[in-house]
Amino acid sequence: MVPDAEFTSYYGRPVLKAAPWSTDIPAYLFLGGVAGGSSLLAAGADLTNRPSLRRVARLGALTGITLSFGALVHDLGKPSRFVNMLRVAKLTSPMSTGTWILTAYGPGAGLAGGAEIATLLGGTGLLPRWTRPLARLLDALARPAGIGAAVLGSAVASYTAVLLSDTATPSWHEAHRELPFVFVGSAASASGGLGLLGASLADSGPARRLAVTGALVELAAEHRMEQSLGLAAEPLREGVAGKFMRASKILTGCGALLALAARRSRLASAASGAALLAGSACTRFGIFEAGQASARDPKYTIVPQRERVEARRRADAAKLRP
């Protein structure tokens, strides 16, 4: 436990401004993770011929990215504001970089997902005849598009960590070393979970392995993060964020165990998949809320900074000593 910090502030008011973001943003983080991971699974399933996994992953990626895009646009207010971001490309702005990653990723994931829908609809015979050449074209493009999406998907899953870390928000910024791993872990477990939820038992092996690996990476990275965050870890344990994080750990841990244990049960696999998905969502909401809380309480800004200043002062004083 970090001892109660003594510090001075201005009427207890925050030094920093919390991000002016609502639940759209953690949802966006989660859905982006699901999409990115799913594109990886989809491409793998496509290449290794696991149609049910391919289908659910491609659809998952499409849905994930669409909803996530929707969340972003909802946060911005109107779609043109998204387009507005494409007027520049700035490596110093994770949001700009992310926008370009999304822009590059979106079509591939969309194409692959679209092909899957076309196939589904084609199977029902609902599509008019004239669309058939189109569907065939889609089908042909789906694999390269899917592979592209898979490569970019890993970026989609990880860049969001930088998006959060590249702020002055203490619990996000201080986590910048571990957060990408937490996020890709979370993406892997969520997308694996989705695979477990939707694919046949026969096809779901890679999803299971990805989910379990992801869960382990997430939990390990989270643990490390909490160790290295110092005072800024406190918000992860308290309040709403704490509830989310505890839920996340239980869901992810149990989900992973269940996934391992329930190799033969479709139902149990689905349940583990759902748990992992929920766990991943909780991680994103938890980390989001923890960051916001850390920005709102001046303690998390002032105490570590004050310690840095004091340490420097001591070091300077030591240098002066004969």
Near another protein in 213-272, by CB under 8 A: 213-214, 217
DSSP character at residue 148:
H
Which region among 17-25, 131-139, 242-250, 273-281 touches another protein (by CB under 8 A)?
17-25
15 binds another protein (CB under 8 A): yes
316 binds another protein (CB under 8 A): no
117 binds another protein (CB under 8 A): no
Give how many residues touch another protein by CB under 8 A. 86
Which residue, 33 or 113, is less far from another protein as judged by CB? Answer: 33
**Spatial distance between the Cα atoms of 171 and 174, rounded to a whole number of angstroms:** 6
**Spatial distance between the Cα atoms of 292 and 235, rounded to a whole number of angstroms:** 9
The DSSP annotation for 166-230 comes to SSS-HHHHTTTTTHHHHHHHHHHHHHHHHHHHHS-TTT-HHHHHHHHHHHHHHHHHHHHHHHHHG
| Cβ atoms within 10 Å, residue 112 | 32
Considering only residues 187, 258, 262, 287, which one is a binding residue for another protein as defined by CB under 8 A? 187
8 binds another protein (CB under 8 A): yes
Least distance (Å) between residue 299 CB and another protein: 10
Which region among 134-142, 174-182, 265-273, 279-287 touches another protein (by CB under 8 A)?
174-182
Least distance (Å) between residue 195 CB and another protein: 10
127 binds another protein (CB under 8 A): no
Letters for 90-109 (x = contact with another protein by CB under 8 A, - = none) are xxxxxxx--x----------
Which region among 108-116, 122-130, 146-154, 228-236 touches another protein (by CB under 8 A)?
146-154
Contact 171, 232 (CB under 8 A): yes
Considering only residues 112, 188, 245, 290, which one is a binding residue for another protein as defined by CB under 8 A? 188
Question: What crossing angle do the helices spanning 51-76 and 179-198 adopt, rounded to 10°?
Answer: 130
Residues 56-75 that bind another protein (CB under 8 A): 75
Considering only residues 68, 165, 171, 272, which one is a binding residue for another protein as defined by CB under 8 A? 165
- Please, what's the largest Cα pairwise distance for the chain? 91
Least distance (Å) between residue 136 CB and another protein: 27
**Spatial distance between the Cα atoms of 302 and 146, rounded to a whole number of angstroms:** 47
Which residue, 21 or 137, is less far from another protein as judged by CB? Answer: 21
114 binds another protein (CB under 8 A): no
**Spatial distance between the Cα atoms of 165 and 177, rounded to a whole number of angstroms:** 9
How many angstroms separate the Cα of 281 from the Cα of each of 28, 84, 127, 191, 297? 10, 29, 36, 11, 24
